[in-house]
Structure 1
Amino acid sequence: MPHPFKKLCVHAAMIAFVSVGIAQPAQAALVGTAQVVAAANAEQARASLAAALNRADVQAELQRYHIDAADAQARIAALSDAEVASLAHQVDSLPAGGDGVVGALVFIFVLLLVTDILGLTKVFPFTRHR
């Protein structure tokens, strides 16, 4: 009469051998060049965003808005490849002054200059007033 533990071990071994023999379906597909390039671009964009977050001025702005840098890094890591590429493109296309501040100041200057030339305001002393 076999020992109950020995019988349990034999049954466990039989189940293990049978389950290993079950064929698992495998799928294989060609990876296109576009997919490889897109993945490489996404990793490069992710690295550039991470580098931008590590800059001192960006760290100061994050602290000003009470955002933890580690949380921002985690959120960037959680973005999909398409979202990372879009965000990196938006960051790259921003003006160096940041958020169009320089453009707004130039617009206000030109607006005041035109109104001063037309005689509606007296802001600049170098324009003629009648």
Structure 2
Amino acid sequence: MKKVARIVTPFVIASFTLGSVSAMAAPSSVIDGLVTTQEALNADQASVDRERVVELLSRDEVRDQLVAQGVDPAQVEQRVAALSDQEVREMNARLDQMPAGANAVVGALFTVFIVLLVTDLLGLTSVFPFTR
């Protein structure tokens, strides 16, 4: 038994030593890849917010109003998909502040119109011809 312990002990010590050295020398990209709990919760909230905006835009009365204003609903969906998490969060905050009912639809359309107008003015899109 002592003979086996004398043979195995150096290997165990070497493996512990090398294991701890490699853990301490982890590349910064591995450490940077860690996600905090708050970041994970924010990502979940952003996807919920984005789904809420997409759900609102899929309503028939909203689509009718977009078409009446000369905006292609498919292009609006693409724009919403391209919005950053912060922009989607701000849009949902505005939607929460709007009164319920018909005014909410008009307010939501106004919000979408403003977002589209700003992206047109920044040169990111070309939805409205009067911005050129």
TM-score (norm 2): 0.53
Alignment equivalent of 2:76, drawn from 72, 79, 85: 72
User: Is 1:57 matched up with 2:95?
Assistant: no
- Structure 2 counterpart of 1:88, one-letter code: N
Cα offset, 1:88, TM superposition: 1.1
Q: Which moved more, 1:25-34 or 1:88-97?
A: 25-34
Unaligned runs of 5+ in 1: 1-24, 102-130
More helix by share: 2
Cα offset, 1:92, TM superposition: 2.0
Written as runs of structure 1 = structure 2, the 5 A alignment for 1:6-25 is none
Equivalent residue, structure 1, for 2:44? 40
Equivalent position SS for 1:36: helix
Cα offset, 1:26, TM superposition: 6.6
- Structure 1 counterpart of 2:29, one-letter code: Q
Unaligned runs of 5+ in 2: 1-26, 107-132
Identity %: 34
Equivalent residue, structure 1, for 2:88? 84
TM-score (norm 1): 0.54
In our comparison, the structure showing a higher alpha carbon Rg is 1
Distance in 1 between the 2:56 and 2:88 partners?
13
Cα offset, 1:90, TM superposition: 0.7
Runs of 4+ in 1 over 2 A off after TM superposition: none
Distance in 2 between the 1:32 and 1:48 partners?
25
Question: C-alpha deviations, 1:12-51, integer Å up to 9, x for none?
Answer: xxxxxxxxxxxxx771232111110111110011011001
Equivalent residue, structure 2, for 1:8? none
Cα offset, 1:52, TM superposition: 0.5
